[in-house]
């Protein structure tokens, strides 16, 4: 099994749901977004109105879905979940919007992947709480206006830049989620270990946190792998050695890089002499979609100082060569 931010077998997902913080107080880190969001929600409560539409952006596994659930919880409102790829026709969106109840929170994951006609319908729904349902075709087509109850849209995207301006502008609040520090991930892990009734030493928490790629979802995944390992080895108290022995079995390296991260760096260094190389060429070289490389691997590699973005393309930083154990050519650009 591959341990990535996007794995999703049913059992893993059930665990993930059980470990989700239920309120802003239990939500670790992201101080700024948390503070701003709590203000938005408090203001809505005082005005007795639905909260402004919220856009959350950031790499996978940083807590966007969790925050949407928390928003609904704090507003005491029901939550409806859908996603951009599931909405291919304006009719799909009309069906969802027309069945919303007053105050409901609608979470649209991967909102940048909605079709254009659906997007245009969403503009009007967000702004005026109204949609035009088109019946008939060609010259005989008529638009029947339909009023919607006020609702709060929470949109999530891996990168706010992927959204068309008019859509971005219709959100009252945009929160950008950052990668977590290892201290914050340790807090996530402590809470999860408690919920899973595991005994783990501080050094073991630190070891798992440092391999978590700045991502709480990965922390929780790795903790589960460590739990499996401990179960099989009859280890009751998990120390740092047990944790690293367990984690060495998966494709996460000491710096938290997973297979995709490493293959991007490896291609960059070995096939393109360290760059600069265009993102789409790099994506083809690793057999991934450009968007995956750009939104899943790249943000972390940039933050780690392993990859650089230049106007002429992506380049491997000296630390990348070092991490892969490769000699940096004298003419490498960085």
Q: In this chain, which of 3, 27, 167, 300 binds ligand ADP, going by CB under 6 A?
A: 27
28 binds ligand ADP (CB under 6 A): yes
The yes-or-no answer on residue 217 being catalytic is yes
* Residue that the structure tokens 């099989």 belong to: 232
Among 4, 50, 64, 262, the active-site one is 64
Q: Where are the alpha helices (DSSP H) in the chain?
A: 10-19, 31-47, 64-74, 90-98, 116-128, 165-169, 182-195, 202-210, 216-232, 240-248, 259-270, 279-286, 290-292, 298-303, 318-324
Nearer to ligand ADP, 16 or 261 (CB): 16
Least distance from ligand ADP to the Cβ atom of residue 67, Å: 7
Tokens of 59: 């790499």
HEC assignment per residue over 78-122: CEEEEEHHHCCCHHHHHHHHHCCCCCCEEEEECHHHCCHHHHHHH
The yes-or-no answer on residue 22 being catalytic is no
20 binds ligand ADP (CB under 6 A): yes
The yes-or-no answer on residue 49 being catalytic is no
Nearer to ligand ADP, 158 or 235 (CB): 158
- Site size toward ligand ADP, by CB under 6 A: 20
Three-state SS at 185: helix
The CB density around residue 170, as the number of other CB atoms within 10 Å, is 19
The yes-or-no answer on residue 65 being catalytic is yes
Q: State yes or no: 205 annotated in a binding site.
A: no
Spell out, one character per residue from 49 to 78, where the chain touches ligand ADP: x when CB under 6 A holds, - when not. -----------xxxxxxx------------
Least distance from ligand ADP to the Cβ atom of residue 79, Å: 13
**What distance in Å separates the CA atoms of residue 11 and residue 172, rounded to the nearest whole number?**
36
Whether the CB-CB separation of 44 and 64 falls below 8 Å is answered with: no
Tell me the window of 24-32, 117-125, 134-142, 244-252 that interacts with ligand ADP (CB under 6 A): 24-32
Whether the CB-CB separation of 216 and 179 falls below 8 Å is answered with: no
Q: State yes or no: 92 annotated in a binding site.
A: no
Q: State yes or no: 128 annotated in a binding site.
A: yes
Nearer to ligand ADP, 69 or 265 (CB): 69
Binding positions for ligand ADP, 157-196, rule CB under 6 A: 188
Active-site positions read 64-65, 109, 158, 217
């Amino acid at each position: 099994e591959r341990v990535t931010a996007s794995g999703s077998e049913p059992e893993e997902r059930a665990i993930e749901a059980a470990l989700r913080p239920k309120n802003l107080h239990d939500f670790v880190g992201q101080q700024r977004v948390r503070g701003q969001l709590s203000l938005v929600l408090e203001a809505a409560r005082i005005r007795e109105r639905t909260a402004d539409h919220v856009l959350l952006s950031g790499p996978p596994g940083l807590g966007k879905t969790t925050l949407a659930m928390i928003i609904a919880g704090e507003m005491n409102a029901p939550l409806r979940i859908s996603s951009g790829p599931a909405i291919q026709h304006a009719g799909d969106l009309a069906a969802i919007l027309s069945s919303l109840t007053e105050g409901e929170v609608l979470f649209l994951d991967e909102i940048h992947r909605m079709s254009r006609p659906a997007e245009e319908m969403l503009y009007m729904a967000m702004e005026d709480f109204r949609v035009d349902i088109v019946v008939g075709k060609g010259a005989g087509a008529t638009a029947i206006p339909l009023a919607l109850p006020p609702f709060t849209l929470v949109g999530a995207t891996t990168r706010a830049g992927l959204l068309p301006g008019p859509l971005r502008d219709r959100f009252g609040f945009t929160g950008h989620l950052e990668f977590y520090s290892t201290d914050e991930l340790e807090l996530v892990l402590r809470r999860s270990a408690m919920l899973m009734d595991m005994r783990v030493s501080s050094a073991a928490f630190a070891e798992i946190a440092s391999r978590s790629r700045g991502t709480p979802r990965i922390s929780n995944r790795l903790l589960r792998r460590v739990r499996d390992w401990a179960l099989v080895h009859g280890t009751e108290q998990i120390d740092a050695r047990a944790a690293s022995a367990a984690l060495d079995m998966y494709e996460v390296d000491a710096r938290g890089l997973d297979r995709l991260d490493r293959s991007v760096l490896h291609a960059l260094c070995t096939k393109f002499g360290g760059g600069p190389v265009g993102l789409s060429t790099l994506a083809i070289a690793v057999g991934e979609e450009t968007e995956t490389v750009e939104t899943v691997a790249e943000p972390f590699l940039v933050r780690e100082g392993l990859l650089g973005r230049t106007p002429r393309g992506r380049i491997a930083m000296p630390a990348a060569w070092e991490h892969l154990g490769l000699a940096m050519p004298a003419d490498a650009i960085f």
